[in-house]
Amino acid sequence: MRKFIVTGAVALITLSSVSVFAQSASINIPGVASATASTSTIKSSTISLSGNKASNVRVAGGEASGYGITLDGRATANVNSVNITGSTVKSSTISLSNNSADSIEAYGGSTANVNTVNIQ
């Protein structure tokens, strides 16, 4: 059985992809790297995210265009979240416990996932 445990403060800010991860365990980082080219299976695993605190997180999206080019600045803040994209999850446990988040703000078509498990 494989175990993934994330505790304490983890912060990764990627300016070019406009993705913000505050205390997140993530299999995929949208806009930066993707495991969807070859799907994988997470099997008989335990993923735990516990004891994290986040505050004053802001995410802003938008759109800009000029010279025939349009830039879509959709942004996502994943706060105390587990995100699995492009993988199958079988016979596994994912738990979030004792996490807190306050003052989380999302603007301009952006998304804030707070204390969530997202499997796509």
Contact by Cβ (8 Å): 120, 86: yes
Q: Who contacts 101 (Cβ-Cβ below 8 Å, separation ≥6)? A: 53, 54, 55, 57, 79, 80, 114, 115
Q: Residue 112 in contact with residue 104, Cβ under 8 Å?
A: yes
Work out how many domains the chain is built from and give that number: 1
* Averaged pLDDT for residues 17-35: 45
pLDDT digits (tens, 9 = 90+) for 35-46: 444 468 889 999
pLDDT class of 2 with cuts at 50, 70, 90: low
- Report which of 1, 6, 88 is spatially closest to residue 46, judged by C-alpha positions: 1
Can you give the residue range of the structural domain that contains 14? Answer: 2-119
Q: Which helix (H) or strand (E) holds 90?
A: strand 87-90
